[in-house]
Structure formats: C-alpha cells, structure tokens
Amino acid sequence: MVRRDLPEVIAIEQTCFEFPWSEEDFLDCLRQRNCIGMVAEHEGHVVGFMIYEVPKNRIHLLNMATAPEHRRRGVAGQMVQKLIGKLANQKRSKIVLEVRETNLPALLFFRTIGFRATNILRNFYEDKQEDAYLMQYRLSVEQTRPEYVSANRMNGVSPEDIFVT
C-alpha cells in the first residue's frame, strides 16, 4: 500500500464499516515501524486491503475489507493466504485478529479458512460497547517446512486477475 492508494482504501472502508477508520487513523497506523498495508488491485483499481502489524512472534491483522462488488471472488482469501505465507518465512507461528460479535460474514469467512475463536473480549469496541471475538490462525509444524510453504502458497485460491501487493 502506498499513499496514492489511500483514497480508494478509505472509500472501501467507509462503504464496508459502520464505524470506519479515518484517513488519520490509516496514516497513524502506517507510520508505525511494524505496521504494513497490503492492497489487492483489479484493472488498476484497489478492490481490497488489509493492515497488519508484526510484533515478535505473530502477525496481528488490524483491518481488512473488500469492495462489495468484488466480494466472493477470492480477493480476501488471496490476501489472507499471502499473509499466511509470510508466517513461516518470517519465523512467526500465528495470525491474530479481533472481529465484532455482530460481524457474522467476517466470523464465517475467517472460520472457513482455518481461524478459530480463542477468546471473547468484553466491550472491546468503545464506539458501540460491543464484544469482539479474538480469532487465531496457527501454523502447524508441517506448514513451517519450506517444501510445504512453496507447494501450498495459494492453498486452492484462484487468483483470476487480482494482483495483491
């Protein structure tokens, strides 16, 4: 993600969330040394994004969205698979994220691709006094082997013509 992607990222964010991040939220996060942004593009336009941070032993997914007109086309799955591929390469063993308890589509999506709810975070979201599920994806020992990582990088996700950077 580069600065010129922000207008499209913010438009997706505002379309997808009841309580969207502001431009300043994105900039504050991306200015941090351990925070990384990734976008998925289709025909030169941003169709999805994710923001994550990389503390010592894990990847923490902070924000992710796909433009509504590009959902169910493998965009989010491809972005998450790219993130999973970074685990073994960066000597990390898990991805963690928080999902609003009312965001059933996100809960089902992450569950389908191997994430598990590990905890309930009471009143996690201040804007609506809403709980969150702490979800986690953990690499198995087999998945950390180099031959497994290279052979299964996309894990069956068909990228079509989506480009993730």
> Residue 30 above 60 pLDDT?
yes
Q: How confident is the model at residue 164 (pLDDT cuts 50, 70, 90)?
A: low
Q: What is the mean pLDDT of the chain?
A: 87
Q: Are 122 and 129 in contact (CB under 8 A)?
A: no
- What does CATH list as the number for 3-164? 3.40.630.30
32 token code pair: 């941090």
The closest alpha carbon to 163, from 69, 47, 40, belongs to 40
Among 14-18, 23-27, 57-61, 146-150, name the one with the lowest average pLDDT.
146-150
Q: What pLDDT sits at residue 139?
A: 87
Q: b/e for 65-79, b at 16 or more Cβ within 10 A?
A: bbbeebbebbbbbbb
Q: What is the pTM of this model?
A: 0.84
Predicted confidence (pLDDT) per residue in 103-132, tens digit: 999 999 999 999 999 999 999 998 888 999
- pLDDT-wise least confident of 13-17, 39-43, 149-153: 149-153
In the numeric block, the tokens 């289709």 are attached to: 42
Residue 150 has pLDDT above 50, yes or no: no
